[in-house]
Amino acid sequence: MNDKPVLNVKSLKEQVYDFLREQMRRGEILPGSVIDLEETSKKLGVSRTPLRDALLQLENEDFVTILPRRKVVVNVLTARDIKNYYEIIGALESIAILKAFDRLGPEDIDRLEQLNREMKQAIEADDFDLYYEKNLDFHNVYLQACGNEKLMRIVNNLKKRLYDFPRPAGFVKEWEQASTGEHARLIECLRRGQKEEAARFIRDVHWSYEVQEKYIVQYYRHIANP
């Protein structure tokens, strides 16, 4: 018996979107470049409709700008964008912690500690890709627990804009080490039942552009000031 699924679970639009995002992540499609609709449509073997729909989603997520005459420009990440994204993510993750606080049990906090240990191990191994994935997992513990899927989607899309477009080679080790220290402080607040302090800390320290600026300018050294 053939167990191969009859239908592809993902729509054509989703497949085109995933392809374009992967090309962006890998640096095959660079910020500031123009996406040729006809060439891309032929390359993927799809009609303009799923391609257009995928590009509309990318525009909604601020990855591209669709201009008249079928021109699509890949947006450049600016220093002002970074500052604004930090402010938005900090505010939303702070709300997420407040909403998730009573739902986080001891096992969830243990999970946060385990992920933070794994992040430290990834730093020592100079494995930024692993660190990045564990970092997302860490934050997703309380983002998922907050019960607001739209909030989580917005936060994770902004993080893709910040760190995955394309993902720079290497990382600022001092920043990642400081980040795991901040995670430890957040875990301490959660264990002690300090709800408001945990929410404030994630907003005003961990996702504060001003607090993190010395690391941000190193990581995004190729980006000009606004």
Backbone angles phi, psi at 201, to 5 degrees: -65, -40
6: confidence class by pLDDT, cuts 50, 70, 90:
very low
Mean of the per-residue pLDDT values of the chain: 91
Identify the domain boundary among 27, 44, 74.
74
Residue 135 within a domain: yes
pLDDT exceeds cutoff 80 at 118: yes
178: confidence class by pLDDT, cuts 50, 70, 90:
very high
Identify the domain boundary among 40, 74, 108.
74
Backbone angles phi, psi at 116, to 5 degrees: -65, -35
Highest mean pLDDT out of 13-27, 33-47, 137-151: 137-151
Tell me: do 117 and 53 sit in the same domain. Answer: no
Q: How far is CA 204 from CA 25, 28, 56, 94, 213, in A?
A: 29, 35, 33, 9, 13
Position 192 scores a pLDDT of: 97
CATH value at residue 43:
1.10.10.10
The two structure tokens encoding residue 50: 């799923």
Tell me: do 42 and 87 sit in the same domain. Answer: no
CATH value at residue 203:
1.20.120.530
Tell me: do 70 and 136 sit in the same domain. Answer: no
User: Burial, 205: exposed, middle or buried (Cβ in 10 Å; 0-12, 13-18, 19+)?
Assistant: middle
Tell me: do 184 and 210 sit in the same domain. Answer: yes
Identify the domain boundary among 74, 92, 122.
74
Residue 224 within a domain: no
Position 221 scores a pLDDT of: 81
Tell me: do 154 and 202 sit in the same domain. Answer: yes
| Domain total of the chain | 2
Residue 148 within a domain: yes
Tell me: do 158 and 138 sit in the same domain. Answer: yes
Position 7 scores a pLDDT of: 41
pLDDT exceeds cutoff 70 at 2: no
Position 1 scores a pLDDT of: 44
Mean pLDDT computed over 25-45: 90
Tell me: do 153 and 122 sit in the same domain. Answer: yes
Tell me: do 25 and 59 sit in the same domain. Answer: yes
Tell me: do 51 and 93 sit in the same domain. Answer: no
Contact between 138 and 179 under an 8 Å Cβ cutoff? The reply is: no
Position 163 scores a pLDDT of: 86
Residue 225 within a domain: no
Write out the E strands in 60-167. Answer: 64-67, 71-74
Read off the pTM. Answer: 0.88
Query: How does DSSP classify residue 18?
Result: H
Residue 19 within a domain: yes
The two structure tokens encoding residue 197: 């302090």
Tell me: do 56 and 104 sit in the same domain. Answer: no
Backbone angles phi, psi at 128, to 5 degrees: -70, -35
Residue 5 within a domain: no
Measuring CA to CA, which residue among 213, 85, 223 is closest to residue 156? 85
Virtual torsion, Cα 196, 158, 178, 83, nearest 10 deg: -90
Range of the domain at 115: 79-219
Residue 29 within a domain: yes
Tell me: do 102 and 195 sit in the same domain. Answer: yes
Tell me: do 128 and 176 sit in the same domain. Answer: yes
